[in-house]
Structure 1
Amino acid sequence: MSTARTIVGMSGGVDSSVAALRLRDAGEPIAGLFMQNWADDGSGDCRAEDDRRDAVAVCGRLGIPVHFRDFSREYWDGVFAHFLAEYAAGRTPNPDVLCNREIKFKYFLDAAHELGAEYIATGHYARVAHEGGQARLLKAADRSKDQSYFLHQLGQKQLSATRFPLGEILKSDVRAIARDAGLQTHAKKDSTGICFIGERDFREFLARYLPARTGEMRTPEGHSLGEHAGVFYFTLGQREGLNIGGVRGFEPAPWYVVGKDVASNVLYVDQGVDSPYLYSRALRSEAAHWIAGAPPSPRFQCHAQTRYRQPDQACEVIVRDDGTMDVHFSEPQRAVTPGQSLVLYDGDVCLGGAVIASTDAALEQRLREHAA
């Protein structure tokens, strides 16, 4: 059993390092815990050992004990299997949302309690406030790094037992704090992209699990433009990887993915970053999760993000009897993507959110009607 009251999730990065440092300096009894969430797949791209060494070194520097847990099987079952199924269905999932709900704030929280701790802490940029017997998830003080979008599936149990020591400070200050404390992670590059993929080619990685199946690329009007390597490798609004050169009869403007027909294995593309086929004004979601346990009312106005770091968008929300939502935006939205997360806000307060099921984008509606 640990004598620590708070267990800090140590990722081997600068954010979790400074989260632990701030708690220690505040006099909180803490220990670190390093989670391995992805088994080495033999590609040589897994950074888990480097991250583990950095986490151990930081804990040593801070004079705190460190624990280890392997959650790679739980990650496969709870996150990665869903990730593959969504891509195979032509949707674009957000595994970081699932990873937080299923691993970091479930198995990690359970492990901390087994070690005798009351709380967990992470290096996420977000805040928790307690008011009227409820825990509320708030945006971080550093809006450019706010990660409440990825945490919207957490509930009262998780938030009441969670601390975010970086919620009130700026990212620019975090590296300075780490440097001044002599932490070796102070200059370490931030991890980007999907956590288990790391710095590697996404299409090559996905092809190991979803083999390429070439098909036709065409415009929404039906002009054939060549072949694609597999519709599930692409997402709405994507420009890279289409390999469309000059096309006779079309302007020399860039092409963007505007639709996917998985059943027919057709990838739809159009020219222009503001192609009308990329825009929608309404969406239907899957069943919503509410941080407070219930929506503010069956019908209300708030702001929303349909992708990470998107500026807040004004909308009206109608909660249906089955828990799904109809959301209508005040302004047209670009590249709203089924499979991604819709996250709702009332000012700084994150209300919750849901997976996007469908939109009223013209091409998506046409394909849906054709499939029916």
Structure 2
Amino acid sequence: MKKNKSRVLVAMSGGVDSSVAAILLHEQGYDVVGITMRLFDNPFKNSNVLNKTCCSLDDVNDARKTCSVIGARHYYTNMVDDFKNKVMNKFVNEYQKGRTPHPCLSCNHSLKFDSLFNKADELGAEYIATGHHAKITEKDGKFNVEKALDNNKDQSYVLFTLNQEKLKRLLFPVGNYSKEDIRNIAKKYNLSHAEKPDSQDICFIPNGNYREFLKNKIKPIKGFIYNEDGEKLKEHSGIHNFTIGQRKGIEIGGLNKKVYVKSINSSTGDVVISDNEKLFEKELIADQVNWTKGFEPSNNMKVKAKIRYNAIEQEAKLKIISENKISVIFDKPVRAITPGQPVVLYENDKVLGGGIIKNSIPLKTKANV
């Protein structure tokens, strides 16, 4: 195909989304260059083409094969040390503090996009592209991140830290396609990984057992589990074993009801449990704020707010506390507001921005749920 557009560096994990992103840009006439990042040493020697992790030899080969099919160059870069320092260590440190981090957000914000732009500059690429399910739109010189066409795959939640400088050089080619369409495009090009399952877990913890991962990396803050009346129920082995809203693993005998983690105190090691209805609150405070649209929204603006990746957005009011701190007040109580998780604010399908949840504000009266 005649190359009549700009050069674009495509981040290719070896998954079907990033492979089809490269194909779509090739079809549009871009000069595509693929790059695969080695983020950590994959200990799973028996991974195959249908694996659910990343950074395996099969993943690298799948990215290379896709580039070969479309006649694109492919680079493989080692980012193991940076990933460990900026993502994995932060993951450990957050659990040490009794918080629940979102490592994909840390990877995007602290590592992936900056590294890609630096490499793009080295290779003379005007744009970078990824396989994220999201859209970028532009109006009057301002860029917006919007939800993907396939709402079940939408990843706009982990992209709120992007700024205007990055957005003007960033492409999300698969954001206008359903997952079925993406797999069909891969089959059209005879890609052997067209049916590769989506990754479901944290990439460096593919078995999903984050406690096992933390086991030898964290200094446990031990303490006691209390009920809401202050009654001491049981000693625990470390606050890193708990997250807000958790039910499994509490293991307290003699209780004739389901109980959940309501709060975690990293200073004392105290963990408080409660009934499910006590997990509902109406207000949160967030810091580490970024406005994707490039400017601060109006104070007291009505927004939709999302407090975890798989949550449904809820109607809320935004209050600006300072340049780097906001309050989000929900119209109705929401369950298990969790420090360390992002809260992302939307105006219709557009991402306004967001922050990292610092704490919730307890309800003064019992929630009606």
**TM norm structure 1:** 0.89
The equivalent residue for 2:296 is 295
Question: Does structure 1 residue 268 correspond to structure 2 residue 272?
Answer: yes
Change (3 A) 1:184 1:137: same
Q: Any gaps of 5 or more consecutive residues in structure 1?
A: 364-372
Question: Does structure 1 residue 161 correspond to structure 2 residue 189?
Answer: no
Change (3 A) 1:47 1:287: closer
The equivalent residue for 1:32 is 34
Moved more, 320-329 or 40-49: 40-49
Question: Does structure 1 residue 327 correspond to structure 2 residue 328?
Answer: yes
Moved more, 305-314 or 315-324: 315-324
> 1: distance between equivalents of 2:237 and 2:187?
45
Residues 144 and 309 of structure 1 are in contact (CA less than 8 Å); yes or no, is this contact kept in structure 2? Answer: no
Say which of 166, 175, 193 aligns to 1:185.
193
Q: Give 1:115 deviation, angstroms.
A: 0.9
**1:243-290 residue CA offsets vs partner (Å, 9 max, x unmatched):** 34x41xx32x3332111122222222234xx331x1111111114111
> 2: distance between equivalents of 1:22 and 1:335?
40
Residues 236 and 257 of structure 1 are in contact (CA less than 8 Å); yes or no, is this contact kept in structure 2? Answer: yes
Q: Give 1:108 deviation, angstroms.
A: 1.3
Corresponding residue SS for 1:282: strand
**1:147-184 residue CA offsets vs partner (Å, 9 max, x unmatched):** 01000000011111111111111112222222232111
Change (3 A) 1:41 1:118: same
Q: Give 1:362 deviation, angstroms.
A: 5.5
**TM norm structure 2:** 0.89
The equivalent residue for 1:368 is none
The equivalent residue for 1:63 is 71
The equivalent residue for 2:96 is 88
The equivalent residue for 1:281 is 282
Query: Over aligned residues, Cα RMSD in angstroms?
Result: 2.2
Change (3 A) 1:47 1:290: closer
| Aligned AA (1:86) | E
Moved more, 296-305 or 9-18: 296-305
Residues 142 and 293 of structure 2 are in contact (CA less than 8 Å); yes or no, is this contact kept in structure 1? Answer: yes
Change (3 A) 1:229 1:180: farther
Q: Any gaps of 5 or more consecutive residues in structure 2?
A: 48-52, 365-369
**1:217-259 residue CA offsets vs partner (Å, 9 max, x unmatched):** 2322234443433111211111222234x41xx32x3332111
Residues 13 and 185 of structure 1 are in contact (CA less than 8 Å); yes or no, is this contact kept in structure 2? Answer: yes
Say which of 108, 119, 143 aligns to 2:116.
108
The equivalent residue for 1:366 is none
The equivalent residue for 1:350 is 351
The equivalent residue for 1:22 is 24
Corresponding residue SS for 1:76: helix
Moved more, 133-142 or 189-198: 189-198
**1:310-330 residue CA offsets vs partner (Å, 9 max, x unmatched):** 222111111123431121110
Q: How much identity, in percent, do the aligned residues show?
A: 35
The equivalent residue for 1:5 is 7
